[in-house]
Copies of this chain bind each other. A is one copy, B any other.
Amino acid sequence: MAAPAPRTDTAPALERDDLNPNVLRAQYAVRGPLVDRAQALEAQGRKIVYCNIGNPQALGQKPITFLRQLLALLEHPALLDEPDAARRFPADVLARARDVLRRHPPGTGAYSQSAGLAFVREAVAKFVERRDGIPADPRRVILTDGASRGIQMVLLALLRSSATGYLCPVPQYPLYSATIALIGGRRVDYALDERRGWQLTEPELERAVAAARREGTEPAAIVVINPGNPTGAVLSPETIAMVVRFAARHRLAILADEVYQENVYAPGKRFVSFARTLHDLSEERVPLFSFHSVSKGYLGECGHRGGYLEHRNVPDDVAQELVKLQSISLCSGLPGQLAVHAMVAPPKPGDESHATWAAEREAILGALREKAEILGRAMRGIPGLHCDTPEGAMYAFVRIELPDTPGVADAERDTAYCLALLEETGVCVVPGSGFGQEPGTLHFRTTFLPPKEQIEDFARRLGEFHRRYVAALGRAGA
């Protein structure tokens, strides 16, 4: 590291150059300069549609009543004792709240054990057993503040040296690139195949790992996001099995980001977990860290920052180190832990709140399915934009065709496009360069979370914008 420049006595005591170089290097496009500009425009009175981030309730999605009634009772248990409680809350919600308080009397008010409340971890294990039809162990579950904190913890734990590499998809969710930069590790890019619906291919994985090793990088893990963010692609069971075999061959751990597991819309597609695939392959050596969250799915409870990680094929003394890491920040937030409980143990048929819960869930997932189709259809109707209907998740990663502007970097070109789109239409999307894209291609990521009418309106304005923007670039280049 270069020696610090000598400083005069009038210099500020702390300058940007004094900071951790890894911190300066880390980029997080989903909340970058584009969002700053959007907020500035909003402060001036412009109406902004935030399609930059998967934040459903900020765009009008209603919370699931069951979860919120439960949390209200847990925040203020005196409500349980009011004489008309049985009239105001469904019986199963009252029973659940009493049961939670019996198992953890301080409710939301006290730290839990570092790994999270034991009965919530047990409920997570039962959820995995029901979902996948395989055994699961609550001692291999850690409750985290959203999936993000769990992912950061595992990436940090696996950083054996500054040569440690993590295979990450391109495009990827920038939590990975930012965290790997922050901890001083190396990102090893593997490209998803846009021409094949953003699937993951074995030759590309082999190419990536070989290229990394040639540069002295020691790959420790592969990150897979399924369903994909930002691509919306749902991986086939065969692809997942291929990844497991690839990981076994190269002694890699798998980080399976499965936060969109409920968000599968395409006919004939279904979510298959890495846990289930390990089981089916009788694979007992590949370490798996699987992440889930209350922020996505049908709950969309981003503000509660609830999540969990479940690990398999991880020795006890390694698992203990993860719990120690969690203990340094005491534990994840209790409202988030209890939201996880509501996610993994929802009302059962016969429970008073089951019908409402099921109807709300179906309405939310049905609307997302419909909006994915609307967005896909609209994008296909705009000359110069390319995007299949998203199969899952909450995003479309749209390819943009622009006239050549020699000497201008891709990241400048897509950022300029997204900024102009924001200024003209008030819609905030994220440039593809924030996620990574094949050199020479340009994209943006948009969510399909706004109400249907707004998506239709956005698509119309986007078409007009794109035509004008391309024409203006053409004139400038002429």
Which A residues form the contact surface with B (CB < 8 A)?
1, 4, 12-16, 18-21, 23-24, 26, 28, 30-31, 39, 53, 55-58, 63, 65, 68-69, 71-73, 75-76, 78-79, 82, 88, 106-114, 145-146, 148-149, 152, 156-161, 175, 178-179, 182, 220, 248, 251, 253, 285-287, 300-305, 313-315, 317-318, 321, 324-325, 327-330, 332-336
For A1, give its contact among B161, B317, B329 (CB under 8 Å).
B161
Whether A303 contacts B146 by the Cβ 8 Å rule is: no
Q: Taking CB as reference atom, which chain B residue is nearest A79? A: B72
25 pairs, A vs B, C-beta closer than 8 Å: A1-B161, A12-B315, A13-B248, A13-B286, A14-B253, A15-B318, A18-B158, A23-B321, A23-B324, A24-B321, A30-B327, A31-B330, A55-B111, A57-B109, A58-B106, A71-B76, A72-B76, A106-B303, A108-B304, A109-B302, A145-B333, A149-B329, A333-B333, A333-B336, A335-B336
Q: Name the residue on B nearest A18 (C-beta).
A: B160
Whether A302 contacts B285 by the Cβ 8 Å rule is no
A180 shortest CB reach to chain B, Å: 11
One of B14, B23, B287 near A314 (C-beta < 8 A): B14
Which residues of B are found within 8 Å of A161, using beta-carbon distances? 1
Besides A16-B318, A71-B108, A303-B333, 6 new A-B residue pairs in contact (Cβ under 8 A), listed by A number: A18-B160, A19-B321, A108-B301, A108-B303, A109-B300, A305-B330
Contact A55 B110 (CB under 8 A): yes
Which of B57, B156, B220 has a CB less than 8 Å from the CB of A106? B57
Contacts of A110 in B (CB 8 A): 55-58, 302-303
Q: CB distance A53 to B146 under 8 Å?
A: no
How far is it, in angstroms, between the C-alpha of A18 and the C-alpha of B252 when the chains are bound?
11
A108 to B145, CA, bound (A): 14
Q: Is the CB of A335 within 8 A of B108?
A: yes
Task: Kindly list chain B residues whose C-beta atoms are within 8 Å of the C-beta of A114.
Answer: 31
C-alpha gap A110/B300 in the complex (Å):
8
Q: Which residues of B contact A82 (CB under 8 A)?
A: 88
A26 to B327, CA, bound (A): 11
Residues of B within 8 A of A56 (CB): 110
Select from chain B the residue with minimum beta-carbon distance to A299: B109
**B329–A146 CB distance below 8 A:** yes
Of all chain B residues, which has the CB nearest A175? B328
CB distance from A29 to the nearest CB of B (A): 10
The residues of B that contact A318 with a CB separation of less than 8 Å are: 14-16, 18-19
The 5 closest A-B pairs by CB, nearest first: A303-B334, A72-B76, A57-B109, A58-B110, A31-B327
Choose one: B12, B24, B75, B332; the contact of A305 (CB below 8 Å).
Answer: B332
Check B26 against A328 for contact (C-beta < 8 Å).
Answer: yes
Residues of B within 8 A of A63 (CB): 109
Bound CA–CA A276/B157 (angstroms): 40
In the assembly, what is the distance between CA of A232 and CA of B407, in Å? 63
Given A303-B109, A330-B302: A156 touches B58 (CB 8 Å cut-off): no
Would you call B253 and A19 a contact (CB within 8 A)?
A: no
Shortest distance from the beta carbon of A414 to any chain B beta carbon, whole Å: 20
Q: With the chains together, A21 CA to B301 CA distance in Å?
A: 35
A76-B72, A321-B19 known; A315 vs B14 contact (CB < 8 Å): yes
**Chain B residues whose C-beta falls within 8 Å of the C-beta of A1 in the assembled complex:** 160-161
